[in-house]
Amino acid sequence: MASPLQGKRIVVTGGAGFLGRAVCQRLQALGASDVLIPRRAGFDLTTETGVERLYTEMRPQIVLHLAAEVGGIGANMMNPGRYFYANMAMAMHMIEGARKYGVEKFLQTGTICAYPKFTPIPFQEENLWNGYPEETNAPYGIAKKAAMVMLDAYRIQYGLQSACVLPVNLYGPHDNFNLQTSHVIPALIRKCVEAQRTKASHIECWGNGSASREFLYVDDAADGLLRAAEVMNVPEPINLGTGKEITIRNLVEMIAKLCDFHGEIRWDITKPDGQPRRCLDTKRAQERLGWQAKVGFEDGLKRTIEWFRKQ
């Protein structure tokens, strides 16, 4: 069957980024008539004037809002004000513009950081509001969660159709490998590859390794996001993940092995671990979207490491 996105004029904010790149490739394969990517130099989405220019010049029928300012634990700790303001401002202006210019569908990409710090495992969408997020990423997570409230309010008052997905930690080729702002997998891959190449005796990792995380390959995330854009009309939060968790300690050991790094792994326990555990319940994605992850974790890591080595 033809996709409802076929023949549509679609704006993908953040379309030049890590997840956006995979989404845009799939949109073109689905037959979207125009896939438009606003770049920061011409469209500052944290401002009303920048968003107004986007809607008047690009005239989208559908908006996929992927743009975000985000980073790992260290970046979140250094930029809590900026991360709250930028993500809240972008969502607020983009959603209001969608209402004002009659957009057919607005998709909001949320975050697992919006869940309470001590959410029961596995994370279920109905528990999203049962507590305060983990402190180091709370400003970012709350800004993203507030956007969902705005979308629901606009559905009720203005009839704006929308969807909202909550991807777990993503990884894959084209990720951000900057050690100052990257998430855990690209940071570890870079550390291990460079240590292996320079024959370094050790690498350093934050925390004690006991925290757990769940990871989703970027192509799987793109498929789930577009499926939500196709079939959902209400901003009901939907987890996108694999339902499988791994401790940071085991993750480091796996990446070191795949990168052929055999040196010492040193843990800096003065640094934070972040949220204690992350593991998602993905039944809603299967029921509402007919979607589930396909790429195995070790296979995805091998693809990512191979891509990084080539760079």
DSSP 175-221: ----TTT--HHHHHHHHHHHHHHHT-SEEEEES-S--EE-EEEHHHH
Positive or negative: CA dihedral 10, 16, 17, 21: positive
Radius of gyration of the chain from its Cα atoms, rounded to whole angstroms? 19
CA distances from 241 to 102, 179, 188, 223, 266 (A): 32, 24, 21, 12, 29
Q: In angstroms, rounded to a whole number, what is the distance separating the alpha carbons of residues 72 and 184?
A: 7
CA distances from 151 to 7, 98, 232 (A): 25, 10, 13
Q: Say which residue the tokens 């854009």 belong to.
A: 229
Tokens of 74: 């260290």
Residue 309 — φ and ψ, nearest 5°?
-60, -35
Q: With 0-12 CB in 10 A as exposed, 13-18 as middle and 19+ as buried, what is 260?
A: exposed
Q: 141: closest CA among 194, 208, 193, 70? A: 70
Asked about 132 being catalytic, the answer comes back as no
Among 140, 154, 171, 217, which one carries the catalytic annotation?
140
Q: In angstroms, rounded to a whole number, what is the distance separating the alpha carbons of residues 64 and 11?
A: 6
Residue pair 216/166 in contact (Cβ under 8 Å)? The answer is: no
Residues classed as catalytic: 140
